[in-house]
Amino acid sequence: MKIMNCPLNGPRNISEFIHGGELKPMPNPTTCSDREWADYVFYSDNTAGVITEWWMHVASSYWFLAERHTVTDEILRTFDPQEIFQERIEFAVEEKRS
Amino acid sequence: MNRHVSPENIQTMPTRLPAPMGSLINRQQPITFQFEGTNYHGVEGDTLASALIANGRYLLSRSFKYHRPRGPLTMAGQDANTLVQLPDEPNVLADTHPLSQGLAVTGQNYSGSLDHDSDMKLGKFSKFMPVGFYYRSFYKPKGAWKFWESLIRKKAGLGRYDLNATGSYHDKAYLFADVVVVGSGPAGLKAALTAAEGGAKVLLVEQQSQLGGALTYARFDDAGVRAGQVREALIPAVEAHVNIHVLCKATCNGWFTDNFLPVIQGTRMYKVRAQECIVAAGAFDQPAIFRNNDLPGVMLASAAQRLIRHYAVRPGKRAVVLTGNDDGYLAALDLHEQGIEVAALVDMRAGPVDTRLTQTINQHGIPLHVEHTVFEALHDKTLHHVTGVDVRRITRRGEVADDSLTLECDLLCMAAGYMPMYQLLCQAGGKLTYNDDVAEFSLSNLPKHLYVAGSVNGLHDLDQVLQDGVIAGTQALHSLDLPATEAAPLVGAPKQVNFPWPIFAHPKGKEFVDFDEDLQIRDIINATRHGYRDVQLVKRFSTVGMGPSQGRHSALPTARLVADATGRTVSETGVTTARPPFTAETLSHLAGRSFDPFRVTPLHQRHLQLGAKMMPAGDWQRPAFYPSATSGHLDRDRCMQEEAIHVREKVGLIDVSTLGGIEVRGPDAAEFVNRIYTFGFLKQPVGRTRYAAMANEQGVVVDDGVSCRLGENHFYVTATTSGLARVYQSMLQWNAQWRLDVDIANVTSAYAAVNVAGPLSRKVLEKVCTEVDLSPEAFPYLELREGKAGEAPARLLRVGFVGELGYELHVPSRYGEYLWDLLMKAGEEFGIRPFGVEAQRLLRLEKGHVIIGQDTDGMSHPSEIGMSWAVNRKKPFFVGRRAVDILDEQPAKRRLVGFRLPATSAKPLEGHLVLEGSDITGNVTSCEYSPSQDAIIGLAYAGADKATPGSHITIRVEGGDEVNAEVVKLPFYDANNSRQEM
Amino acid sequence: MATLEDTLTTKRTPLYHLHQANQPNATGWQHLGGYAIKAGQDETQVEPTTVAPACGLTDLSALARVGLRGKKAATILSEKHYQLPAAPNQALRQEDGSLVAKLSASEYLLLGSFADDGERISRDELAWQAAERAHRLPDAYLLPRQDTHAWLALTGSHASDVMAKLCGVDLSPKAFAPGHVAQTSVARANAIIINASQADLSCLYLLVDSASACYFWPILLDAMQEFEGKELNIMALRHHHPA
């Protein structure tokens, strides 16, 4: 069984984690086109290379991010999401969509 | 030398070779056992096979296809020739199964008796059963296979299962080590010692019951003293080392990512996790391929040596040794030394690498034939044992001269070369490359933290093997950042031990490449002629390597034959993929103690005491219904109806502790809840509850619950029993991005919750919650209060899932049972009765309430299920908002509708289809007989055009009948909701 | 000594019925922290020298415990004179015998002491609850660990061997020293494991979902069998906890 290094709990069996999907930016839901939203929700680039993914350590309910190479399945780095998400995210009051 | 062997009475205790031969046996402990109805004597430490051979019994099994007599080939559990039947277990390897007192063993896979198998005539038809026979012969005409299958299965079966077998205790345990060493031969011992000396915690795994590997049975020098010296030097040191944990009789059955190794020992499977892994598993001795190389009495040279050194058993009386390396010479010396006449040493080469060996052999008077081979093993008409050999001069690769020399013998030892024990390493991603110089496979491309040492690494000189162990141990220490002195590099070139082409086709065939599957040289060649050029395809077509020994002896000759037949190199051809497990493992090992977590509510004991029928809900146990109050029977429909009527008429009590509970606290609590759920929550008043539906980013409704605002900055939200984990995880994931100032805590297990429902519920509660004003004016529908139930602090919610006046009470779990008892006692005078999940589902169906997950699927968006009212379109964002908007702008395809059928109609079941002509437009999601409506009512998806009340939908019910149901307005019961709001 | 009826309380620990079923005629019931607990067959059995086998399992769920989380959690705890572990997944024994475990950057778990029957933690929790209701506990959030989690103690030199049959984390004393905390999976369910060994008593605390306590208890006993593990009652263990 693969081992993943949790930034909070250290190296653990991969069975202690759940996968939370690839990290991808949400398009502005009030201004993006239907196609852009569908692309965000339903499509994956299926990159052959390093991608960033959400993982959660179940026993501690701790979400973090992992950089993983999809070809070798090597986990290169795991880190707290605060590294990327530092600011409080606001959603603007709805604007008229064209 | 005694050339006159007197016949022995096999029924008496057979004699054994003198000590120190027999390192595994205890001669003082005789054991009596039975094979095929005959009684035999063995001793403690024997395997079934060693004891039988000691008694002169070689024929242990019949081959899979042709039912040819077979005897031990490897004496190491590496072949299928020793599969026997125990009373309670088939397919047991006789050469590894320990002998026990009174054990009654039989052969398997024969008609008649093991000695006289009438199916053996199949061998005569082998010309008509060519390779791929099954695939090619029985499939025409269409349907023919059905006829042939049962006949073939009967003929092909191996062994009998004990259908009355009972389970036995098996378990699993983790075992942690800095370094795991697989194999305790010279390389493994040295590697383990090196790593342990450097301070690493070492686990040494050995398949046999003693340490030493080849040191325990093989001969490394002409004087025969080297093995003992090395054993003396290493084994006591290993056994005494505090850093080394030794596991004997343990098989490492696979390699998984990051050195995760299943190691089976007895009834336990260890899940070994090691930082570093050294595979020193050794190499498989290889047979030569010639006619009748499968006869009992034909065995690997190492098998004969194991019989001698491990069991003090004389493998035969007159031996011929066929070799392609110097080890065959050493084996011949072993036989000679133990009083077995060596009729000839037949060397396929021009002579030994170590020329002194020729001299030694000559000194002992062993006739030596170089550049010769055994072309055929001879037998009498029974084929029960080898009786001699036809020895011929090799003229060209794989070809022999016409002149033949016939020698009598009852033992033929083969030493054609070695195949590295590549399985674990290939599972780890290692690549096998064939080195033409030494005619041997070698391994490369290993992942980090995995090392090889010894003969598996292509080294066969004992000094090199020992040094290779030091090197591997040192590499592991370096990787662990432990101090290590630099290991000296290997000295000298690798010793060649493989004869490049020990394959001699015979015009009459029966030169077995794969003993398990009865495959001959021509079967492999023919497979390539059928166009199966890839070794993987050859395997699937011919079944080579598919038997119990999994290619341990057939992989190398198959690779050579396929390469030769297809004009490629052996490297290009390669061998088939090695997958775990390495050896057969039982399902009980895989299962171990099965862990199936379950959860019970604080009220569980009360449900059991009341005789409730429990049902699983997610990982929880919930009461489905209680015994009927009128009959005491546990009949689902009847109990459910009675309980439902009781709630409608009087008052009922249901355990809803399994509802998920999440505390959302902090300055951004309202903002957070507002983003997560579809409704508006910013302005939800303190002291009020509000329905909360959750969508995912695809706009699909995935969960629902009730949002309770306990304070300006404090929400308590409920989630469905099975949805809670997902809801909680998704909340945390969202806030890992949003960074709102809020704390999200799963407090599900912290609360016991009950719903008191029915027109008399207020009266019951008035006796229990004396400090709370329960009047409709002071505590109206959808309000929420914090107060006390008896002594217990409680959250009181006026919500109405079942559509009657009702209260949900949430108290700390510790008070759960107290609350239940209090309510049951207080409600006694009002006839309070518990009701279960089934009644609750019926009651809510009457109210048209949707259960997420039952009445919704992976496509259901809010407007499809009539929940547009629960979507706030004024707020800037909620999860799924954009998708909900997009979906709403598209023409509706289906709707969830309520339908009604007369009570006498056939009752649709959940999942039954809704049809429009021949098209499927939806399905039934809930359906039940409703006592309050005296009708069958249900929810179903139907075409959007059928959503108007008064329309009719066609439902195909059990048996294919169709019923026509009327679409009706929801709810079915109490349309103006007066009962829940009273 | 008191019978069960004498000690009927409004509060129940998650394993109350399981203990009762295992010992239907026990006379040794008494109160601890307002819970009825099994104290032993009779007092004479509570012999410190004989009650600690190489492998014992004790239900400590009657002792107080609470969680506190948030930006101000550390400050609030320090004000109450709790010594805090330096890093997440560490635990620190307090002078009075209670234990503080740090579970994340801002989350703490407080476990009550035998010495005062968990009185200090109970008292502090009540005070914090009152403060929370009065909005005087900003940036700190109480976690009801007493109700969400059962608290078990696995004692004796074989504790880590028992756990190796249930858990994929190396809990041997060398890898998991006293004061270490592991939040992990035990027998496929979540658990917090704390090495609470002190003096000569090896001890692993297990905090498991209170709703799963009935699942864990027999599984632990099963895993303990080969080490001749025994159920220990809380009073017996108390003798071994110098506090």
C46 pLDDT more than 60: no
Q: Check residue B291 and report its DSSP letter.
A: B
**What digits encode the pLDDT tens for the residues B739-773?**
999 999 999 999 999 999 999 999 999 999 999 99
CATH number for B612-657+751-843 (one of 2.60.200.20, 3.20.20.210, 3.20.20.30, 3.30.1360.120): it is 3.30.1360.120
Least CB–CB distance from C184: residue in A1, A12, A62: A12
Compare C83 and B136 and report the one with higher pLDDT: C83
Q: Which residue has the tokens 């959250």?
A: B795
Name the strand (E) or helix (H) holding B405: strand B405-408
Average pLDDT over every residue of B364-392: 96
Domain at B892-982, CATH homologous superfamily: Aminomethyltransferase beta-barrel domains (2.40.30.110)
Q: Name every chain C residue with its beta carbon within 8 A of the beta carbon of A60.
A: 103-104, 183
Residues of C whose CB is below 8 A from A15 = 168, 185
What is the reported pLDDT for B132?
A: 67
- Strand pairing partners for B443? B432
Q: What is the mean pLDDT of chain B?
A: 93
Helix B521-529 and helix B555-565: axis angle, to 10°? 40
Please check the confidence at residue B316 and state whether its pLDDT lies above 50: yes
Report the percent of chain B where pLDDT is more than 90: 83
Q: Residue B126: which pLDDT band, with cuts at 50, 70 and 90? A: low
**Looking at the partner chain, which of B260, B729, B876 has a beta carbon nearest the beta carbon of A92?**
B876
Using alpha carbons, select from B230, B227, B385 the residue that is nearest to residue B318: B385
Neighbours of chain A (3+ CB pairs under 8 A): B, C
Question: What letter does residue B94 receive in the DSSP assignment?
Answer: T
Rounded distance, CA B114 to CA A66, Å?
61
| Chain-chain contact of C214 with B595 (C-beta, under 8 angstroms) | no
CB–CB of B74/B303 below 8 Å?
A: yes
- How far apart are the C-alpha atoms of B468 and B485, rounded to whole Å? 14
pLDDT digits (tens, 9 = 90+) for A56-93: 999 999 999 999 999 999 999 999 999 999 999 998 76
User: Out of B127-141, B469-483, B529-543, which region has the weakest mean confidence (pLDDT)?
Assistant: B127-141
Average pLDDT, chain C: 88
Across B712-827, where does the E strand assignment appear?
714-719, 743-746, 751-757, 784-789, 792-797, 806-812
SS3 B256: strand
DSSP element (H, E) containing B236: helix B226-240
pLDDT at B146 over 80: no
Q: Which residues of C touch B746 (CB under 8 A)?
A: 148
- Between B535-542 and B555-565, two packed helices, what is the crossing angle to 10 degrees? 110
pLDDT of residue B2: 39
Residue of B nearest to A96 (CA): B876
Task: Report the residue of A37, A53, A97 to disrupt the B interface, i.e. the one with the largest count of B CBs within 10 Å.
Answer: A37
Domain boundaries, chain B: 171-284+420-479, 511-579, 612-657+751-843, 892-982
Residue B821 near chain C (CB below 8 Å): no
CB contact under 8 A, C164 and B791: no
Least confident of A82-96, B228-242, B794-808: A82-96
Residues B745 and B834 sit within 8 Å (Cβ to Cβ): no
Domain ranges of chain A: 3-83
**Helices and strands in chain C, H and E counts:** 7, 13
Nearest to A29 among B728, B738, B877 (CB): B877
pLDDT at B14 exceeding the cut of 70: yes
Tell me how many degrees the CA angle B357-B361-B365 measures, rounded to the nearest 5: 165
A8 at the C interface (CB within 8 A)?
A: yes
Can you tell me the distance from the alpha carbon of B667 to that of B656, in angstroms, rounded to the nearest whole number? 30
- Average pLDDT of span C124-145: 95
Confidence at residue B10, expressed as pLDDT on a 0 to 100 scale? 41
Pairing assessment for the beta strands B104-105 and B26-35 based on DSSP bridges: parallel
- The pLDDT value recorded for residue B151 is 65
Give residue-wise pLDDT tens across range B671-714: 999 999 999 999 999 999 999 999 999 999 999 999 999 999 99
Cβ pairs bridging A and C (under 8 Å)? 32
| Banded pLDDT at B579 (limits 50, 70, 90) | confident
- What is the ipTM for the molecules in this complex? 0.96
Select the residue of A29, A34, A89 nearest B737 (Cβ to Cβ). Answer: A89
CA distance B455 to B442: 10
SS (H, E, C) B527-572: HHHCCCCCHHHHHHHHCCCCCCCCCCCCHHHHHHHHHHHCCCCHHH
* pLDDT at position C241: 61
Q: How far apart are CA B782 and CA B788, in angstroms?
A: 18
Q: Which of B107-116, B186-195, C116-125, C226-235 has the lowest mean pLDDT?
A: B107-116
How does pLDDT run across B532-557, given as a tens digit for each residue?
A: 888 889 998 888 988 888 889 999 99
Which CATH superfamily groups domain A3-83? Answer: Folate-binding superfamily (3.30.2270.10)
Q: What is the pLDDT of residues C68-82, one digit of tens each?
A: 999 999 999 999 999
Distance from CA of A6 to the nearest CA of B (A): 15
Distance CA B438, CA B975 (A): 89
A57–chain C Cβ distance below 8 A for any pair? yes
Q: How remote is the C-alpha of B332 from its chain's centroid? A: 44
Cis peptide before B20 (omega within 30 of 0): yes
B701 within 8 A of B694, measured Cβ to Cβ? yes
B231's enclosing H/E stretch is: helix B226-240
CA B192 to chain centre: 30
User: What are the tokens at B877?
Assistant: 């964002």
Half-sphere exposure at residue B267, Cβ-oriented, CA atoms within 13 angstroms = 9
pLDDT in tens, B852-883: 999 999 999 999 999 999 999 999 899 999 99
Q: Which helix (H) or strand (E) holds A76?
A: strand A75-79
Q: Which of B393-407, B461-475, C15-29, C116-130 has the lowest mean pLDDT?
A: C15-29
Which of C104, C184, C192 has its CB closest to that of A16?
A: C184
- Which parts of B304-401 are beta strand (E)? 318-323, 341-347, 368-370, 372-379, 386-396, 399-400
| Token reading at B772 | 């709370």
CATH number of B171-284+420-479: 3.50.50.60
Asked if B739 is an interface residue toward chain C (Cβ–Cβ < 8 A), one would say no
Query: What domains are defined for chain C?
Result: 41-62+148-240 (3.30.1360.120), 65-146 (3.30.70.1400)
Return d(Cα B715, Cα C141) in angstroms, integer: 13
Instruction: Give the strand pairing for B411-415 and B26-35.
Output: unpaired
What CATH code is assigned to B511-579? 1.10.10.1100
What CA–CA distance (Å, rounded) separates B410 from B378?
10
Structure tokens at A87: 């600011």
Q: Is the pLDDT of residue B127 over 80?
A: no
Using pLDDT thresholds of 50, 70 and 90, give the confidence band for residue B117: confident
- Name the helix (H) or strand (E) containing A95: none
Task: Give the total residue count for chain A.
Answer: 98
Bridge-partner residues for C185, per DSSP?
A: C190
What pLDDT does residue B782 have?
A: 96
Mind telling me how many Å the CA of C169 is from chain A's nearest CA? 7
Contacts 24+ apart (CB under 8 A), B253-256: B253/B580, B253/B581, B253/B582, B253/B583, B253/B585, B254/B424, B254/B427, B254/B580, B254/B581, B254/B582, B255/B424, B255/B425, B255/B427, B255/B428, B255/B450, B255/B580, B256/A1, B256/B427, B256/B580
Work out the pLDDT band at B139, boundaries 50, 70, 90.
Answer: low
Q: Say which range, A6-20, B39-53, B138-152, B824-838, has the weakest mean pLDDT.
A: B138-152
